[in-house]
DNA sequence: TGTACTAGGCCGGATTCTGTCCTCATCGCA
DNA sequence: TGCGATGAGGACAGAATCCGGCCTAGTACA
């Protein structure tokens, strides 16, 4: 236990993050310094922008409260594992607006995650995410974080890519941005061999590898990466339109809808119609629709219709073949 | 920019957590100190147990790597929001073994989450978690974190409770432990009015409020809280048994099963039988089963059979009522 | 071979930190 | 209404630490 000031500040921060009140005396004991020094340390934390609330009088104490900036989170082993598992599960069904930040956070965490915890994370992860099963094309979290790191660190990225017709190629790219359209992940990158910009579906990427080589990012011809991706997807017609009527008010459907699927238009008070586009397989969308516990009708496309019919038939069979 | 050493160390930590290489000179610039001091600071981080890997030679630099302990995570706004949203979504369908730690981490994070970010979290959260819809009884993340804090901080907890027959009461408790059985959350606590131990289903709790009053935890008569909860659930027969046959190998089903549902026994090479107990509503379990994309047969209980039949009928209707 | 980078020792001066002692304000309890 | 426990903060002196500059050594890459 050295008398190192910065180390003590970090320990104080970690103590204060436990959601409870800490009397000054106890903090002084734990940190091995005098009460006065504890007060000074707390002043320092406040100056750093991490407000510490103090209740005076007997039974008083200190407690870290919400401030203007996020203080460094001090996590114990189990909490770190929980966050990693949660983020990896979440990386599958990405929520619009958080997806990319979520992967960044995961990359940051896994960069420093002790190896003994890493094992626990991968073990636990097997038990998660029922929804990924609907559509075979999933992305390994390792792939996601590795590519996110390469984007952030501006390192060249090499990987194997399986194109739509099944042929495999090896690519050397300058990764530009990671994007998700609800269900799928895409990488927008400059392909060095083809000497042009490309978009890659991450579920077709394998063996990604960050060569240490740094690069200075080129300018994307189209304005934003999201715009470029959208154009590229429409060009290849990877997305398809669907059309469904729900026997529920529009606002109810909207509240329970992933958002990136589109927004429903009210037909009358008790029903609404949803026309949108999806880039996932119809089978996955069918399961998704089954989750709504209200009547609905599928109009388009025929593939979706077939999937819903099959799922319905399977469930009916499941209920029919009962044994007394 | 004061020349405060501990503050500089924190900033260095936050810089190093960006997944990229940092040359010493750049770090010195950013921190406003000499190269020599940067080296010393990095030494200090190493002494604190956060190993910094350095690559020598040109193009060299520093980078934080996995060590023995978790370093304090320095998150930017978006990452903090992403983690909060991810954890809140995950708090619904809890994964065995991480559930409680996950709530603890969420409580820790939300305790210090700046209010402007808090708004973004609650906005985004609306768009998540499709599975909670199957079963109306969900728990607000705020309730979860507040109770977790009360357990950790050993503060008395007051809340309104709606018992199974619908009558509402107010309780004053000493919260002991938070548990989840897959789908549902339970609080094991000492009820001060009844002067005895009780278990509470969190989806029946409303208006929880931590009175500042501290208490020293009593000893639970039964050994562990999990054991106590299990006994109490069997006494009330809140859980029910189910029995399903899948037309898929046992290991495949086991891999995609939430784990707490039970483990399947192989019938032959291509099918297996799952007998387990669930405390969720049959409707929710029916949707869950629909997610498996293999044939299956429901044997028990009749309620589940009915739900599966209804769901199948609804999907068939959805596919049937097509418009040309 | 040269260059750019990390690693680390040494030293002197400046800065900061810590513990002690002090006073004052606030709160809860007897 | 007073007492005790707690937080807030000023003053001060001695000790510890920190910082920058200078040095050499080792490594990787062009």
Hey, how many other C-beta atoms are within 10 angstroms of the C-beta on A281?
18
Instruction: Pick B98's closest partner by Cβ from A82, A130, A318.
Output: A82
User: Structural domain of residue A41, as residue ranges?
Assistant: 5-64
Nucleic chain D contacts, Cβ below 7 Å? A 2-6, 23-25, 35-36, 39, 42-43, 54-62, 212; B 3, 5, 8, 33-34, 36-37, 40-41, 44, 55-59
Q: Tell me, yes or no, whether A71 lies in a domain.
A: no
Last residue of one domain, picked from the residues B217, B235, B253:
B235
Task: Determine, for residues B112 and A64 on separate chains, whether the beta-carbon distance falls below 8 Å.
Answer: yes
**Residue B308: left (phi > 0), alpha (psi -120 to 50), or beta?**
alpha
Checking if the pLDDT of B277 tops 60, the result is: yes
Provide the pLDDT for residue A165.
Answer: 80
Q: B179 near B116, Cβ under 8 Å?
A: no
What's the number of CA atoms in the CB half-sphere (13 Å) around residue A7? 18
Instruction: Answer yes or no: do B229 and B280 share one domain.
Output: no
Instruction: Pick B6's closest partner by Cβ from A5, A124, A259.
Output: A5
Over the stretch A101-114, which tens digit does the pLDDT of each residue have? 888 888 888 888 88
Provide the pLDDT for residue A7.
Answer: 83
Q: A318 near B310, Cβ under 8 Å?
A: no
Residue where the block lists tokens 């999937």 = A307
Q: How confident is the model at residue B234 (pLDDT cuts 50, 70, 90)?
A: confident
Instruction: Answer yes or no: do B244 and B220 share one domain.
Output: no
Provide the pLDDT for residue A62.
Answer: 86
Instruction: Answer yes or no: do B56 and B83 share one domain.
Output: no
Q: Tell me, yes or no, whether B313 lies in a domain.
A: yes
> What is the rounded distance in angstroms from the CA atom of residue B217 to the CA atom of residue B190?
9
B window 223-282, beta carbon within 8 A of A: 255-259
Å: B59 CA to D29 C1'? 8
Over the stretch A28-57, which tens digit does the pLDDT of each residue have? 888 888 888 888 888 888 888 888 888 877
**For A313, which residue in chain B has the nearest alpha carbon?**
B312
Provide the pLDDT for residue A132.
Answer: 45
Q: Tell me, yes or no, whether B152 lies in a domain.
A: yes
Å: B269 CA to C5 C1'? 61
List Cβ neighbours of B256 (8 Å cut-off, separation of 6 or more). A130, A133, B292
Instruction: Answer yes or no: do B167 and B27 share one domain.
Output: no
**Residue A207: left (phi > 0), alpha (psi -120 to 50), or beta?**
left
Which residues from A are below 8 Å from B69, CB to CB? Answer: 114
The torsion angle over the Cα atoms of residues A225, A227, A231 and A236, rounded to 10 degrees, is 50
> What is the rounded distance in angstroms from the CA atom of residue B149 to the CA atom of residue A43?
25
Q: Tell me, yes or no, whether B72 lies in a domain.
A: no
Instruction: Answer yes or no: do B203 and B170 share one domain.
Output: yes
Checking if the pLDDT of B174 tops 80, the result is: yes
Over the stretch A278-314, which tens digit does the pLDDT of each residue have? 766 677 777 777 777 778 888 878 878 888 888 888 8
Provide the pLDDT for residue A280.
Answer: 65
Instruction: Pick A298's closest partner by Cβ from B109, B288, B322.
Output: B322
List Cβ neighbours of B43 (8 Å cut-off, separation of 6 or more). none
Provide the pLDDT for residue B6.
Answer: 80
Enumerate the β-bridge partners of residue A159: A171
Provide the pLDDT for residue B130.
Answer: 45
Q: Which nucleotides of D are covered by protein (CB under 7 A)?
A: 4-11, 16-22, 26-30
Instruction: Answer yes or no: do A87 and A167 share one domain.
Output: yes
Which residues from B are below 8 Å from A126, CB to CB? Answer: 255
Q: B185 near B141, Cβ under 8 Å?
A: no
**For A131, which residue in chain B has the nearest alpha carbon?**
B291
The verdict on B112 touching A (C-beta cutoff 8 Å) is yes
Q: Domain holding A13: CATH number?
A: 1.10.10.10
Checking if the pLDDT of A205 tops 60, the result is: yes
Over the stretch A83-92, which tens digit does the pLDDT of each residue have? 888 887 666 5
How much is the average pLDDT of B308-313? 82
Task: Tell me the pLDDT of chain B averaged across its residues.
Answer: 78
Instruction: Answer yes or no: do A197 and A88 share one domain.
Output: yes
> What is the rounded distance in angstroms from the CA atom of residue A88 to the CA atom of residue A85?
5
Q: Which long-range contacts (CB under 8 A, 24 or more apart) does B311-314 make?
A: B311/A290, B311/A315, B311/B286, B311/B287, B312/A312, B312/A313, B312/A314, B312/A315, B312/A316, B312/A317, B312/A318, B312/A319, B313/A312, B313/A316, B314/A295, B314/A296, B314/A312
Instruction: Answer yes or no: do B261 and B193 share one domain.
Output: no
**Residue A61: left (phi > 0), alpha (psi -120 to 50), or beta?**
left
Instruction: Answer yes or no: do A173 and A90 share one domain.
Output: yes
Instruction: Answer yes or no: do A222 and A247 share one domain.
Output: no
> What is the rounded distance in angstroms from the CA atom of residue B22 to the CA atom of residue B30?
11
């Amino acid at each position: 236990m050295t008398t190192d000031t910065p180390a003590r500040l970090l320990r104080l921060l970690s103590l204060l993050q436990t959601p409870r009140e800490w009397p000054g005396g106890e903090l002084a004991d734990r940190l091995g310094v005098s009460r006065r020094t504890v007060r000074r340390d707390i002043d320092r934390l406040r100056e750093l922008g991490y407000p510490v609330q103090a209740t005076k009088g007997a039974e008083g104490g200190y407690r870290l409260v919400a401030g203007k900036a996020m203080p460094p989170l001090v996590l114990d082993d189990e909490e770190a594992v929980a966050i990693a598992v949660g983020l990896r599960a979440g990386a599958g069904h990405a929520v619009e607006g958080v997806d990319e930040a979520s992967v960044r956070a995961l990359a940051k965490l896994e960069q420093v995650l002790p190896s003994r915890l890493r094992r626990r994370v991968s073990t636990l992860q097997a038990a998660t995410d029922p929804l990924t099963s609907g559509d075979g094309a999933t992305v390994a979290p390792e792939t996601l974080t590795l590519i996110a790191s390469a984007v952030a660190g501006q390192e060249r990225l090499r990987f194997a890519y399986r194109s739509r017709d099944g042929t495999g190629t090896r690519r050397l790219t300058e990764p530009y941005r990671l994007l998700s359209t609800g269900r799928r992940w895409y990488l927008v990158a400059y392909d060095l061999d083809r000497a042009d910009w490309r978009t890659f579906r991450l579920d077709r990427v394998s063996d990604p590898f960050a060569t240490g080589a740094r690069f200075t990012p080129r300018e994307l011809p189209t304005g934003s990466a999201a715009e470029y991706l959208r154009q590229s997807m429409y060009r290849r017609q990877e997305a398809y339109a669907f059309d469904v009527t729900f026997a529920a008010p529009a606002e109810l459907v909207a509240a329970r809808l992933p958002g990136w699927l589109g927004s429903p238009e009210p037909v009358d008070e008790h029903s609404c119609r949803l026309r949108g586009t999806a880039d996932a397989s119809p089978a996955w969308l069918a399961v998704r629709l089954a989750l709504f516990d209200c009547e609905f009708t599928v109009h388009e496309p025929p593939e979706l219709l077939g999937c819903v019919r099959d799922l319905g038939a399977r469930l009916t069979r499941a209920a029919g073949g009962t044994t007394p």
